Structure 1
Amino acid sequence: MRKHISYNIFNIVTIFIVTMFFSCNDSFKQVQKIGISENEPIGVDHNVNLKYTDSGRVSANLISTKVLDYTNRDFPFRQFTDGVTLYIYDKDNKKSTVQADNAFVYDNTNLIDMQDNVVITTHDNQVLKTEQLFYNTTKEWLSTNKPVSFKTKTDLINGNGFDSNSEFSNAEVLEVTGIITLED
């Protein structure tokens, strides 16, 4: 009888241990999230001034007053809430400027979503204005399907949509709604 009770206790303990072992599959990630609401940023940066260098030369300078870090989410991103200014310098140190009231940087997709009062001024004074513009950092491609105003050296072109490489060497306004020729 004593062997039978010991055998039953051994079986119960074994079942209990096996159950605990298989139930602890993702508890570490859950413990990390304790105290962090998924609706809140994991961090907030103020007065950001980042300089990107390439071979010892400053290639870009990003300035923003507030950045919210949501990289703790399943689809991680950073949000520039109080405006962002990006100065981009080419090989000849000529400066182009990108400004927006809001911007979202999605690292998993290599996509930047600029929103609200987006203005790009190139080093040769071409100016693009729109309410939303996407930049694919992998393909170095700009695009939008929102209304745009694009000022070149000779024309002011309005339309619905825009596509271009990052150098504006093949900039195209889509669905042109009007062209005004500028005088010198």
Structure 2
Amino acid sequence: MLSIQKIINFSVTVFAVTLFFGCQSNFKEIQRINVSEFMASGEADSVNLKYTDSGKIKAILVSPKMMDYGTVLYPFTEFPNGIEVTLFDQNGKKNFIKSDYAITFKGTDIIDMQGNVKMTAEGGQYLETEQLYYDQKNEWFFTEKKFKFTDPYKGETKGDGLDFSKDFKRINFQKVSGVINEAE
């Protein structure tokens, strides 16, 4: 025969298991209620944006897809399928940049380009890295990632981290190695 102690232990176990599964079901429902949809407030395909200042084109941005998250707490614009950017300086010289992904947070004037970032300048300079930031306001580029920078006159430089002006006149290298040709 079952003793009273075994009956009480069995009853408590059954009650605890029932309570556990009942709470788990309610917990999942509460999680579902508290999840807010994180959806883009705007979406565009085949984007071709031209940025002008005083009637002059300063930049052209081309992307297969642009998603705008302007209604979230920290608004941003995302280019999930990459971008191609052409930057123009005051003399009309161009820099070309391509990346697999890009994002810009509103109010920062900084574009974060990621994945197979390649930059080519009309002067022959070429940069490869996995991530490159562009400060639009100061016209300044920077990265802390590994990079390979090639200048047709000064040689090839590799390292971790660099920053430079849009026209490549000022370049700050960090943790570098490579062969740099001296100016003649």
TM above 0.5, one fold? yes
Deviations 1:68-117 (A, max 9, x none): 11111111100111110111122222221011110001122222111001
Which residue of structure 2 aligns with residue 92 of structure 1? 91
Distance 2:150 2:111 in 1: 23
Which residue of structure 1 aligns with residue 103 of structure 2? 104
- Residue segments in structure 1 that go unaligned for 5+ positions in a row: 1-36
Question: In structure 1, what residue type is equivalent to 2:116?
Answer: N
Q: How far 1:137 moved relative to its partner? A: 2.1
Matched-pair identity in %: 37
Which residue of structure 2 aligns with residue 132 of structure 1? 131
Which residue of structure 1 aligns with residue 75 of structure 2? 76
Give the TM-score normalised by the residue count of structure 1.
0.73
Q: How far 1:178 moved relative to its partner? A: 2.8
Question: In structure 1, what residue type is equivalent to 2:109?
Answer: N
Which residue of structure 1 aligns with residue 55 of structure 2? 56
Give the TM-score normalised by the residue count of structure 2.
0.73
Which residue of structure 1 aligns with residue 168 of structure 2? 168
Distance 2:45 2:98 in 1: 17
Distance 2:138 2:86 in 1: 19
- RMSD value over aligned CA atoms? 1.8
Partner SS for 2:39: coil
- Residue segments in structure 2 that go unaligned for 5+ positions in a row: 1-35
Q: How far 1:38 moved relative to its partner? A: 4.2
